[in-house]
Amino acid sequence: MNQIVENPYLQYFLGFDRYDDRTPPFDASLMVSFRKRLNSDILIEINELIAQAALDEEQFKKTKDKNDHPKGTKGDGQSEDETKAHQGQLILDATCAPGDIHYPTDVRLLNEAREKLEEIIDTLHEPDLGICTKPRTYRKEARKNYLSLEKQRKKHRKAIRKVIRKQLGYVLRDLKIIDRYLENPQRPLLLSRRQRENIQTIKALYEQQQMMYQTKTHKVENRIVSISQPHLRPIVRGKAGADVEFGCKVLTSVVNGYSFVERMSFNNFNEGSFLIESVENYKERFGSYPEAVMQIRFSELATIWLGLRKTASGSVGQSWDDQPSLLRRLKRYKRSWIPVFETQSKVPMATPRENMGSPA
C-alpha cells in the first residue's frame, strides 16, 4: 500500500488520472479479502503452474543448442533419456509455515479471552448508559491475578493451576452476562462479525480449558491456540529450540531445485503415508518414475548417533545399554524408516547398525 502511495509509476499503471501521495487508493484489509478467496487447492494449482513452467523453460534452454542427432541417439530417433523408465530424483520434505501469533499458554489464552469478552460487554451495554449500571466483571482483579503469575520468573505448577481456575471463573461470568444481553433480539445487531465469531471461539476455548483443568491434562482434540486464528493447530516438529510450531504443515517435493506442494493442512499428518501418492504425482508431471526417492530424515538419525558416540566416549564404562532414551529414539526411527532407492552419495543404504558400527 505504501509503495502505491509513493510511486507515481504504479499509480499510472493502475489507471489513476492524477498522482496523489496523501490518500491510499483502497484500504489495506481489501487485500486480505482477495487472499481469502484463494483456497488451498487454488494455491497448490498456482504453484504447480509456476514450477512446471520454469522447468519447461529450463529444459527448452538445454535442448535448444543441440543438433538434430545428438550423441546417444538410437536408430529410431529416440534418445537414451527418453527410453529410460526412471528419470530424475525426488526429494520429499515437510515443513511448517508458522502463524504470526504469540506463543500460546493456557493462562494467556484465558486472559485474552476475558479481555475480548469485556470489550463485547462494553459494546452491548452502550444503549443502557445512564439508565442502569453495567454488570460487574471484576476486570481489575482479574488483570491483577493474571499479572501476579506472568511477572514471575519461574512459574510453579500449583500457582499456574490456581490462576487458571480463577481465569476460568472470570470467563464463565462474562459469558453468562453476554448471554443475558443477547436475549434481547436487538443487541446482536450492535456486534461486528468479528465479535460474534469471537464469542463462539471463546465458548469452545472455555470448554477445552475446563476439560483439561479437570482432567489435569494438556491435550485435547482440535485444540485452540489463537482466538483470532482458531484454525491454527499445534504441529509437533521436534526441532531444536522449537519442539512445537503453530501454523500450516506443508509437504513439498523438490525436483531440480523447484518445489511442488503435495499436501498442506493445518492439522498434523504423517508425511511418510503420502510417499506413494507423491511418486505417482511425479510420474504424472514428468512421464516417468524417479530414479531416486529421498526423505529428509538423515539429519535426525545422525543427531541420535552423534549423541550415542559422545556419551559413550565421554566417560569410562558406559555402553549402549547405558543410554536408554537415545536407544529408544533410534529404534523408533528404525521402525519408521522409509525405503530409499538411492542416497545422494550413490551408495546403497545399509541398516542403521551397519552404517554406524559400534561406538568408539
Residue 267 included in any domain: yes
In this structure, the answer to whether residues 291 and 302 fall within a common structural domain is no
Q: What is the mean pLDDT of residues 74-94?
A: 64
Which is more confidently placed, 318 or 297?
Answer: 297
In a domain, 226, yes or no: no
Instruction: Name the residue range of residue 311's domain.
Output: 298-356
Query: Considering the domain boundaries, does residue 242 fall inside one?
Result: yes
In terms of domains, do 115 and 208 share one? yes
Please write down the HEC assignment for all residues of 293-339: EEECCHHHHHHHHHHHHHHHHHCCCCCHHHCHHHHHHHHHHHHCCCC
Same domain membership, residue 349 and residue 307: yes
- Examine residue 49 and state whether it is found in any structural domain, yes or no: no
Last residue of a domain, one of 295, 330, 346: 295
Number of independent structural domains in the chain: 3
Average pLDDT for 225-254: 84
- Give a yes or no: residue 58 inside a domain: no
Q: Is pLDDT above 60 for 350?
A: no
Query: Does 318 share its domain with 257?
Result: no
**How far apart are the C-alpha atoms of 123 and 25, rounded to whole Å?**
31
Mean pLDDT across 188-211 = 94
In the predicted model, is pLDDT for residue 182 greater than 70?
A: yes
Q: Please check whether residues 280 and 305 belong to one and the same domain.
A: no
Residues 116 and 179 in one domain: yes
Q: What pLDDT is attached to residue 303?
A: 44
Residue 177 or residue 317, greater confidence:
177
> Are residues 152 and 245 located together in one domain of the fold?
no
Considering the domain architecture, whether residues 240 and 291 belong to the same structural domain is answered as yes
Last residue of a domain, one of 182, 215, 248: 215
Evaluate whether residue 27 is within a structural domain. Answer: no
As a whole number of angstroms, the distance between CA 358 and CA 309 comes to 9
Residues 6+ apart with CB under 8 A from 191: 120, 123, 124, 199
Whether residue 127 is found in the same domain as residue 202: yes
Selected residue with higher pLDDT from 114 and 130: 114
Asked if 20 and 10 touch (Cβ cutoff 8 Å), the reply is no
C-alpha cell at 328: 529408544
More confident of the two residues 349 and 241: 241
In a domain, 140, yes or no: yes
Contact criterion met (CB below 8 Å) for 263 and 269: yes
Q: What is the pLDDT of residues 272-294, one digit of tens each?
A: 788 888 888 888 888 888 887 77
- The full DSSP string for 66-94 is --SS-TTB-TTS-BHHHH-SB-SEEEEEE
Q: Which residues contact 51 (CB under 8 A, 6 or more apart)?
A: 258, 259, 260
User: Domain end: 167, 188, 215, which one?
Assistant: 215
What pLDDT shows up at residue 65? 61
- 123 and 210 part of one domain: yes
Residues 139 and 150 in one domain: yes
Mean pLDDT, the chain, integer: 77
Q: Does residue 255 sit in the same domain as residue 282?
A: yes
Tens digit of pLDDT for each residue in 17-50? 888 877 777 777 777 788 788 888 888 888 888 8
Residue 355 has pLDDT above 60, yes or no: no
| Confidence (pTM) | 0.66
The DSSP bridge partners found for residue 289 are 86
**H helix or E strand, kind and range, residue 241:** none
Instruction: Give the model's pLDDT for residue 306.
Output: 43
- Is position 83 within any domain? no
Q: Would you report the helix, strand and coil content of the chain in percent, each value rounded to 5? A: 50, 15, 35
The pLDDT > 90 percentage for the chain reads: 27
Whether the per-residue pLDDT at 319 is higher than 50: the answer is no
Cβ neighbours of residue 237 closer than 8 Å, sequence gap 6 or more: 96, 243, 244, 245
